[in-house]
A and B are shown apart, each in its own frame.
Chain A
């Protein structure tokens, strides 16, 4: 069996925005089938890194290969769930129509949706428990429901790699656990990359971790170590590992 190209391969990546360096010397290789968490403080460059991998931004220096291809060539295999799902709440669009846009791609511009497209969307909506809401206006859903719809849209693209940017930022804890269990199941077929600053819940599901704060430290193993967290945050955090809360690092001195 020939070896699969890595899901993501980054070498000596530099990126700055208006001369402010955002990322420097970033490099790692992520195998297909992995479940990676990208941790780090706000403003540390997590979302920028994601946008570079998706080909929305171009690096100043360095190379990015996604599934062995340039990011813009790999696009059709990438699913993406953005951080903000509360954009455009007044937009006239139903759940079904939104998820259906996941079936669009460059090669089929101007073509109608097929019955196959619609069936796939229905199947995904059922899987996400949102089938009954398919004719509902997206703007009237709750935060958690909207999150599900955006995941459904990403799944409708039938991705090889699924990226989620802070998927649990605006949802209840119950949904959070449910989401990660769902992703764990999905991970049998799809490589998953999740951006989060919530180290706790995710630690029992991930297979590898990248800590991003200007630079990137990659850990292939699933264990989140104290050192990684310290590096990622430069400040103490509450770590809830395997359901047992315990404080790892001391609070800031007043």
Chain B
């Protein structure tokens, strides 16, 4: 794996800007309860985007595939959790059981559906994931139908009152889970042999195979882990969407893509930071700039991301890919 230490100045500049932004948010929040409430809600929303973006980044880092079906997979595993609870398991039993099921599902999908196309063009794999999207949607609708179902948050609506700003217990848990996930992914790729093998399998399959890495297994594990992260994202997102229905991950997927693009598809931390930035921007726009009517929110968010990508084509935290000829 090569790493080019270019443009570290750029990275530092970005870090400084983000830090400045965070400090500005903090200062304004201390000044106004309304601002603080909006910001906190925005961070919570951003964590939701970030959690799914994390799964997207993991799959990309481990298998170099953009998975359009990530959100629907997460939705599917959430429905599985719902069904397990209907069959009598407690919330936390169902939670962990679902994670295991998600891992299995991810590996099976990779082996059955992605492996045959992954060495071909990007387009082929993208299409297969799009097909999976449609397929999973159909399957969920088939099994569970279109009605709203309740999968209540294990924390209810209890919230802490911090100086007049409500902070739901759920949000604290979400933050904890996302940060744990982020730390886990980072540690996996930085410190473990498995992580190294996975990255090698994704970047240089031929060389990795020669070095003894079981490439196919690594890719399958990558998908399994991403599905697991996605399941966590789905389970965390659902309570904040208030009910379970088929389409609940779709708006999240859109912003998760935006977060991943913004932060850089190679950077788990970037994805989470990108997600938080988008979430805060959204809630602040809703609260303070009503002239930006709701139709323009999506286009503006994406215009912003396009602008960022033009300046930094690999996202804020991405590294420029250098190809040796």
User: Is this pair of chains taken from one and the same complex?
Assistant: no
Taking beta carbons and an 8 Å cutoff, which residues of B are in contact with A? none
Taking beta carbons and an 8 Å cutoff, which residues of A are in contact with B? none
